[in-house]
Amino acid sequence: MDFFKGFDPYSVQSPCFVVDTDAVEYNLRILDDVQKRSGAKILLALKAFSMWHIAPLISSYLCGTCASGLWEAELGREEFDGIVSTYSPAYKESEIVRIMELSDHVIFNTPSQFLRFKDYASSSSHPVELGLRVNPEQSEAPVAIYDPSGPFSRLGTVLSEFDPSIVDELDGFHFHTLCEQNADALERVLRAFEERFGEFVSGRKWVNWGGGHHITREDYDTEKLINLVCDFIARYDVDVYLEPGEAVALGTGVLVAEVLDIVHNGMNIAILDTSATTHMPDVLEMPYRPHIWDAGEAGEKAYTYRLGGPSCLAGDVIGDYSFDRPLKPGDRLVFSDMAHYTMVKTTTFNGVKLPSIAVYSSTSRKAEHVRHFYYSDFKNRLS
């Protein structure tokens, strides 16, 4: 389906994140097909995409949410249906009681954290299942900053630090090693997990395979994934959970920006109302070059510009792009694939205004603002 069909970037405020709900549902149907054919239970990773305005749509397909700490667990319980599975590299004693109240699964990073906090589960008003994150030591992520199995990683317990004496008290295991990857990488990670920890899986209720599964990408091998899940369930008699966040929102959102001014300093530089450092930090952290509608590589089209943000950071540069005609103040640019790891990572550094949030339907061809941000949002973060 051709998403954002008929979308007019001048129909929303700028800057503005716009999510096509038809595109989200398209992805959800793919994920639901994986659930139904494999038996896996898929959770939305709120760390990647926590747009609770469309929680009813997401909850109609997925089995719940996974949280990275107290506030995401609160959001998962308040706005979404299904289970809440919470994992954090370390829990604070002042928060663990509330986390147990909010969560159906609480996953610990180390045996020491498990032993310290496990008894709090009995004080919860509902049954809480406890798990341990392990590190299969199979490095697959293409970028070091996103590699949970890289050297000296703090994420998950390696086999040499594992405590077999706690196994009978665990309901499940968790591992997460992937980043925007296909099922072939998962197959290698799963092999490493079984080599190191497979003997401890018997008698557990579930194994959570974490996130980073690019299931809704066009070239993703869903048949391999389904076969891996079916085979694992048959051999170990456990539930399998997957936690994709990016796969839910992949290709579903854009960021609309406006040209504010043109600067000339050795080349043409367009200053936008959208910032790399405050609105799309992965451009600098990953790093990567986002796609812009109707734009080309530098020199490909007639007019080349370096695009920069409105902050005072010298490195607040999005990249070099070319266009068929000269840019001028007031022009709108549309950055594609801006739903995941964007809204959740925005900041008000330098007092830069946060983008509004809108939804769009390719079916009805209507855009609707669902959130605007104001000076009070900036001020109330400070004191």
Domain boundaries, the chain: 9-17+253-338+346-379, 39-249
CATH superfamily entry for domain 39-249: Alanine racemase (3.20.20.10)
pTM score, two decimals?
Answer: 0.96
Half-sphere exposure of 293 (CA within 13 A, CB side): 19
Evaluate the CA torsion angle 98, 76, 357, 216 in order and state its sign: positive
CATH superfamily entry for domain 9-17+253-338+346-379: Lyase, Ornithine Decarboxylase; Chain A, domain 1 (2.40.37.10)
How far, in Å, are 231, 254, 263, 275 from residue 266 at the CA level? 59, 30, 10, 21
SS3 at position 15:
coil
Strands of 64-112 (E only): list them. 64-67, 83-87, 105-108
**Strands 172-174 and 129-133, how do they pair?**
parallel
**Strands 172-174 and 206-208, how do they pair?**
parallel
| Strand ordering across the sheet containing 172-174 | 41-42, 239-242, 206-208, 172-174, 129-133, 105-108, 83-87, 64-67, 44-45
Per-residue pLDDT of the chain (383 residues), as tens digits, is: 579 999 999 999 999 999 999 999 999 999 999 999 999 999 999 999 999 999 999 999 999 999 999 999 999 999 999 999 999 999 999 999 999 999 999 999 999 999 999 999 998 899 999 999 999 999 999 889 999 999 999 999 999 999 999 999 999 999 999 999 999 999 999 999 999 999 999 999 999 999 999 999 999 999 999 999 999 999 999 999 999 999 999 999 999 999 999 999 999 999 999 999 999 999 999 889 999 999 999 999 999 999 999 999 999 999 999 999 999 999 999 999 999 999 999 999 999 999 999 999 999 999 999 999 999 999 999 99
Measure the CA dihedral 247/250/252/253, to 10°: 120
Question: Per residue in 344-354, pLDDT tens?
Answer: 999 999 999 99
